[in-house]
Structure 1
Amino acid sequence: MKRKSFPDIIKNFAPSWFSVTMGTGITGILIYTTPYQFHGCHTLGKIFFALNCILFISFFVISVIRYTVFPYTINLLLCHPGQSMFIGTMPMGLATIVNSVVFMFPKEQYHWAPNLAFVLYFIDVAFMLFSVLVVPFFKLAIQKHSMETMYTTWLLPIVPAVVTAATGSVVASVLEYERAKLVLILSYLIWGLGFPLSMCIIAFYYSKTVIYKLPPPELLISVFLPLGPLGQGSFGILNMGITSTKLFNATGKEFVPVDMISKVAEAGGTLMGLVIWGFGIFWLSMAVACVIYGLAHNEVKFNIGWWGLTFPLGVFISSTNTLATLLQNRGFKIFGAVLTISLTILWFYCMFFTLRGIYTTKMFVAPCLTPQSFPTDNNVDQEPQPEPKPGTDEMEVLERELESAE
């Protein structure tokens, strides 16, 4: 296969590449904050953080160049029913950097860290609002979708709200009272913006999968995506309750004009976090089983979508570790450690094949730039050509061939 030129690489640089920063960022955070500390874990975590910053800045600059030099790709991206979903990966990638600043640079030693985290948080909120509000509008008004072609990628524009809310709870824990109160209230609102809708999409996807079976091999890994809003939703509501209590105890002031609100937030958050975590266990079990089944029955090649496995698993581990600390439960602690090791191995696996794909330039493919994606005289609202159903029965194919032969 002929290697792509540099302009072609820029033009085909899809937003799904930000999923690499999501996986790298969460892996570094988990190594740095693992309950079982080992010699060098903080150093290794900061190496991942530095790599994540380099990747995010590089991807952001390349994206700016892409939409500046090839401005028509913006409309094609937003109108594409598949690629537009990955716009949400950018705010989620930035969220891992914000969290890393708070965790890896304690405010007692690095006085600039809280201010940097505060500024980056609101930049992330702006990116998140574009993803959560603009992309669903295009989905509702312009794009063409069907239940048959619905996949868990529908979650990607919505999950940034859940991730940003959880990030806000982390940032608020290192801010002074007034700014912490602002960020925490905003985080609860943002959590409500994203989590309920994520649950609707998960329920819809479960029904669709039961009816139409598993997604095709190239999208098989996407069955792990619902673990993202479940893991981060659990972590977010847990940590917002914890931060509320810390904020109240540190200032001696009432957080809002309701008695005991901080204790209610922590107790209610703990119970809700446990329930959501339990749902996550079900989905983790089903996803693992489905992927093993799919790998055994299909040839599945590595693609950029495999990075979509790292972040959902990572945020679920964050929730597990938080429950281990909050409930002082060794079972959660051990389970989180086992998953962290698995995630680290998975990260190295994905990075190896990604670097190989970068070298060959095979991974620089933007589906929204395929010929059928370009606008025609009938505008973008034209009906798309019907696609073959995944898993079509062989007898039906044979019957159609016989009919055409007659």
Structure 2
Amino acid sequence: MVNLASSTGASGPAPAGNLKEMIRQFTPNWFGATMGTGVLALALNQFPIEIPILHDIGRILWLFNIALFTLFAAMYAARWIFFFDEAKRIFHHPVVSMFFGTIPMGLATIINGFLAFGVPLWGATAISIAHALWWIDVAMAVACGLLIPFLMFTRQDHSLEKMTAVWLLPIVAAEVAAASGALLVPSLPPGEAYDVHIISYVLWAYSVPLAMSILVILLLRLILYKLPTRDMAASGWLALGPIGTGSLGLLLLGTNAPTIYAASGLPGVGEVGFGIGVIGGAILWGYGAWWLMLAMLKTVRYLNEGMPFNIGWWAFTFPLGVYSLATLALARITHFWFFSAVGGALIVLLAVFWTIVMARTLHGAWRGHLFFAPCLVSGVAPIEPRTKL
């Protein structure tokens, strides 16, 4: 265990109860908790077996997620206000900077929650809020998808051997926004719905092909250099994220396509869009199945070796969650029982993962060990502080 640091000394995990040091050590990694919590809320609301209490649990989780996101946003804003010189070091860090993408993705789960849980409570007001937040989310996602790779090209030190799936995080944010846009479209007036629908397709293309190319490089890295260190064990699940979200986005956009394009005088385009959604979504789902099983095998290997807990464990949740939602979307469209069964099983696994990771996170946050900014440590490998499982 590294020594605890004062607010002016060398950096280590924040001492328990030291709010000033917690803010100083706060990084975007924490928004992974909002991603995981939000996607569980949405998944429980779509569980293939109708259990009314799951909707209530999902709504509670969504409200809790809003509180979490607000708290994290306030803490990160405070870091930039009070520790500006240290906060800007993140732009040079090859790992922590990737987590900027978790901010728009965490917001996207809240936007989707306004549609799933907010509309029954507040009606059209919830739709208006979701629509306004979606444009903010799009702006952040587009910025992350371009500016973080540009920093990788110009300021940061990267190598194939050190590569992990965290490279995907800033890229995937745009396709998450695309899926959110597809969910928003049915609630909007025709003109606005058409605009959001087209922009969502563009966002999907802005992200998915680039993410797929990164997966190819990641596969080569795994072959040449084997598994990453145990500290980055949970990152193996991140590969499932762009595949699951890509499949979900195509399915949702394809479902909207016939209505949207028919209203614009292009009914044939709508039918093609629906077909591409079903076929493309199923193809991506099959590709994701390989990465899912690989992630399970890698996790068993890491657990046998002794897998240390860190805030990166939230990678167990969101990728699995979006893949579960894609599975359920396929079940609704194809009426194939297999997808319903698999989707239900994946949601149960997601709930188990979320419970374990949230319990460990709350404990680590209370003790202060999880508040650690690697970008403040010179000459230290970009990993999280470790506690034995």
| Fold shared, TM-score > 0.5 on shorter chain | yes
Q: Select 2:376's aligned residue among 334, 348, 369.
A: 369
- 1:213-292 correspondence to structure 2 within 5 Å: 213-248=226-261, 252-254=263-265, 258-292=266-300
Alignment of 1:346-357 (within 5 A): 346-357=353-364
Structure 1 residue 162: deviation in Å? Answer: 1.1
C-alpha distance after superposition, 1:174-195 (max 9, x if no partner): 1110111111111011110000
Match of 2:89 in 1: 76
User: Aligned to 2:301, which of 283, 293, 306?
Assistant: 293
Cα displacement string for residues 223-242 of structure 1 (whole angstroms, at most 9, x for unaligned residues)? 11010000000000110010
**Paired position in structure 1 for 2:123:** 110
The answer to whether the Cα contact below 8 Å between 2:65 and 2:110 also exists between their aligned partners in 1 is: yes
Q: Deviation digits for residues 320-340 of structure 1, max 9, x if unmatched? A: 000000001111001101111
How many residues are treated as equivalent by the alignment? Answer: 370
The Cα shift of 1:302 comes to 1.1
CA contact (8 A) 1:107 1:114 kept: no
Give, in angstroms, the shift of residue 75 of structure 1: 2.4
Match of 1:17 in 2: 30
Q: How does 1:15-94 map to 2 (within 5 A)?
A: 15-94=28-107
- Which protein is bigger by CA-based radius of gyration? 1
Q: Is the 8 A contact 1:56 1:94 kept in 2?
A: yes
State which of 320, 324, 330 in structure 2 corresponds to 1:313.
320
Q: Is 1:143 aligned to residue 156 of structure 2?
A: yes
Q: Which residue of 339, 344, 364 maps to 2:346?
A: 339
Letter in 2 for 1:347: W
Contact persistence 2:258–2:267 (CA under 8 A): no
Task: For structure 2, list consecutive stretches of 5 or more residues without a partner in the other structure.
Answer: 5-14, 384-389
Partners of 1:361 and 1:159 in 2: how far apart? 30
Match of 2:169? 156
Unaligned runs of 5+ in 1: 374-384, 388-406
What amino acid does structure 2 have at the position aligned with 1:119?
Answer: A
Q: RMSD between aligned alpha carbons?
A: 1.8
Residues 9-58 of structure 1 show CA distances to partners (whole Å, capped at 9, x for unaligned) of 10101100000000000000011122212131111110000100000000
Q: Does the 8 Å CA contact 2:324/2:347 hold for their aligned counterparts?
A: yes
TM-score normalized by the length of structure 1: 0.88
Give the whole-Å Cα distance in 1 for the aligned partners of 2:93 and 2:231: 18
1:53-89: CA deviation from partner (whole Å, max 9, x where unpaired) = 0000000011110001111134200111111000000
Instruction: Report SS of the residue matched to 2:26.
Output: coil
**In structure 2, distance between residues paired with 1:346 and 1:361:** 22
